[in-house]
Amino acid sequence: MTSLRQHLIDPEVCIRCNTCEENCPVEGAIEHNDDNYVVNADLCNYCMSCIAPCPTGAIDNWRVVSDAYSLDEQYSWEELPDEIELVNLEEGEAGDSEATEILDVAHAGSGAVPAPATASVPQVNLWTRDNPAKAKVTGNFRITEEGTESDIHHIVLDFGSQSFPVLEGQSIGIIPPGVDAKGKPHLVRLYSIASARDGERPGYNNLALTVKRVTFDADGEIKQGVGSGYMCDLQKGDEVQVTGPFGSTFLMPNDPDANLMMICTGTGAAPFRGMTERRRRLNSNGKGKMMLFFGARTASELPYFGPLQKLPASLLDQELVFSRMVRADENEKEYVQDRMLKRADDVAAMLSDVNTHIYICGLKGMEQGVEESFTRICAAKGMDWNVIRSSLKSQGRYHIETY
């Protein structure tokens, strides 16, 4: 009997964030429908590119099988099938040990971006959908002006006596109450932590989130996202079911001499708020600089606009960019990638420093523009962005989290 080691996705743990499919370099190897994400055994080459970005670990599941589970079988699952013990494997056939060796080689060459070398070791998956933590809402504040289209809230959750350790850059999952149109429990919604590791209120077992209310037109009727609507409508004292924490690579270095270049739009600022607050509280004498490129449509729609104005330039070199506000001396709208070009000398200097870490978070559409700006800046300075990016990634100094 021959066997193969099949890569599978756990439907009980998967939060359907699409990270695995987006990061898979083999077209069609990972696909999905409204219920499940599945792996095509005929196309999967064990490259492992999907493993590290998965926030829950759902993607990192394997079964030794004599015949691969079909896509139709995987789509029908509500949980992974039990392990099947294979017998009568003849010497020389491709059993589990050989498959493991192949995977070890694939892991070594996967190219996944590691966490920064000096980052603290994160705790992950301490609380699950079947055993969620229960947090109490101690604050829910709108942080964009009333009347603007962008309804963004700063929400503080307190975990009481439950252990819920987090690091800047990690995320948590929120379980909205109720069921969907098919009668199934709502999927877990993932939100980045917007506070420092010692809590929104230092010394308390709490954390903060930055949540934007999502609205959309459904046959002429304006509706709101299940998760974001639930979160933005929470009242002080409400109890929320929480899973996680998630994330083991999008972390900040503990080295006080590390430079942080942070590029974001909208609620993508959440992890950077946590990182900035961490640095502010440490009041370190290190040489590390922080530079922020933060994009929104207008100042009134930029979350944390007021508090950002109070931060000293010595702590955070910030560039706030508003795409719907055409400046008097400009003929076109401006985006974060445009402001990067205007700060080309400073960006190039940070890229040349081996202590620099780059973080990009926000809408996925921003990535191409940012990449193009890095390319242009490097070319003008006689550098090769492709070479620099490769080096940054291998050293855990280039992290992207977009959606």
Question: For residue range 287-325, what is the model confidence (pLDDT) as tens digits?
Answer: 999 999 999 999 999 999 999 999 999 999 999 999 886
Task: Give strand pairing partners of 259.
Answer: 356
If asked whether residues 21 and 82 sit together in one domain, one would say yes
Catalytic residue set: 191-192, 361, 401, 403
Residues 332 and 376 grouped into a single domain: yes
Average pLDDT over residues 92-111: 36
Residue 124 in any domain: the answer is no
Number of domains in the chain: 3
Residues 143 and 216 placed together within one structural domain of the fold? yes
Tens of pLDDT, residues 111-125: 468 999 999 999 988
The pLDDT-based confidence of 98 (bands split at 50, 70, 90) is very low
DSSP state letters, 151-196: -EEEEEEE-TTS-----TT-EEEE--SSB-TTSPBPPPEEEEB-S-
Range of the domain at 67: 4-108
Beta bridge partners of 193: 209
In a domain, 395, yes or no: yes
249: left (phi over 0), alpha (psi -120 to 50) or beta: alpha
Q: Which of 44, 36, 53 is nearest to 5 (CA)?
A: 44
> Do 270 and 385 fall within a single domain?
yes
Instruction: Name 296's bridge partners.
Output: 322
**319 and 217 share one domain:** no
311-321 pLDDT tens trace: 999 999 999 99
- Based on the domain organization, do 361 and 229 belong to the same domain? no
pLDDT (0 to 100) of residue 97 = 40
Are 168 and 55 in a shared domain? Answer: no
Q: Does one domain contain both 397 and 264?
A: yes
Q: How confident is the model at residue 210 (pLDDT cuts 50, 70, 90)?
A: very high
Mean pLDDT value of segment 339-357: 97
What CATH code is carried by the domain that includes residue 145?
2.40.30.10
Region 269-289 average pLDDT: 92
CATH number at residue 55: 3.30.70.20
Tell me if 127 is assigned to some domain: no
Looking up residue 354, the CATH number of its domain turns out to be: 3.40.50.80
pLDDT for residue 15? 84
216: in domain: yes
Assigned domain for 156 exists: yes
Structure tokens at 326: 């055409």
